[in-house]
Amino acid sequence: MQRMTSRELKDIQFSILKKIDAFCKDNCLTYFLAHGSLIGAVRHQGFIPWDDDIDIAMPRPDYEKFVSSFKDETVSIYSLRTVSTCRYPYAKAYDTRTEVYEGSFKHMSDYGANIDVFPYDFAPSDDIQRRKLVRKARFWQMVLKVKLSRVSSIMTLKQNLIIAPGRVLLIFTSAASLARKIDWVARTYETKKGGKMGCLVWGYGEREIVDASVFSSAIQMPFEGFAASVPIGYDNLLSSMYGSYMELPPVEKQTTHHDFEAYWRGSNEESS
């Protein structure tokens, strides 16, 4: 196998994004750039220079249609709807010609180079009810993260002291069952709906739950020379999540937060 360069990884992710964009347009589905990718579009008109991934999100109904019906020759969907053993409560659209090894011990993943696809769910406008929902979701996220974590020399002693016994307690609980639990909690207001919306399955907690009107429609914004979709209320969302998001972080914090390596499968390289 040949390790992918940072440029190759970004090119693959960008290619996946364009395929998803075309699929959504053909099927009247809505997606938005999310998290760092949304900041990248607004502040840099593309990738954040020191970042190495793309995140997108979709309103729950569009997300469910996407993960169940998207088809492509070189891109597959890793999600609770498509893979019974999926370990995450969100989807990954990955290039089947690649492999990913994660963590300090570089364990092989069930997917290749990918972009994350998150569902946006309704949450109640009432502060008390919303906080209760977010706390419940965050609790199960924490449990899943303990299940997925491994004792590592790069973690603090405190982190390792939490992970080791936690994994023992969860030895008979599958990551997939925990992911399904988070998915179930996030969909609490799927039929009730509510005045707020955001990512409940992962991410930033209450900071990412904003007025549903923020996601009422999509507008186009340049991303690496391509017109990608962002929520019409992107300023409200980014301000809630990051504060002064147009300010660059200190140089020492301009690093990627992802611990993985991506490889081409066999001789299947981008040029093939």
pLDDT score, position 267: 59
Which three-class secondary structure string do you get for the chain?
CEECCHHHHHHHHHHHHHHHHHHHHHCCCCCEECHHHHHHHHHHCCCCCCCCCCEEEEEHHHHHHHHHHCCCCCEEEECCCCCCCCCCCCEEEEECCEEEEECCCCEECCCCCEEEEEEEEEECCCHHHHHHHHHHHHHHHHHHHHHHCCCCCCCCHHHHHHHHHHHHHCCCCCHHHHHHHHHHHHCCCCCCCCCEEECCCCCCHHHHCEEHHHHCCEEEEEECCEEEEEECCHHHHHHHHHCCCCCCCCHHHCCCCCCEEEEECCCCCCCC
> What does the pLDDT look like over 101-154, one tens digit per residue?
986 556 789 999 999 999 999 999 999 999 999 999 999 999 998 888 764 444
What pTM value is reported for the model? 0.91
> What does the pLDDT look like over 67-107, one tens digit per residue?
999 999 999 999 999 999 999 999 999 999 999 998 655 67
pLDDT score, position 220: 99
CA distance 158 to 85: 30
CA distance 111 to 92: 8
**Which residues make Cβ contacts (< 8 Å) with residue 94, sequence separation at least 6?**
16, 75, 76, 77, 78, 100, 111, 112, 113, 114
Residue 118 in contact with residue 109, Cβ under 8 Å? no
pLDDT score, position 272: 42
CA distance 162 to 165: 6
pLDDT at 268 over 70: no
Instruction: Please give the mean pLDDT across all residues of the chain.
Output: 91
pLDDT score, position 154: 43
> What does the pLDDT look like over 211-260, one tens digit per residue?
999 999 999 999 999 999 999 999 999 999 999 999 999 999 898 877 78
pLDDT score, position 148: 84
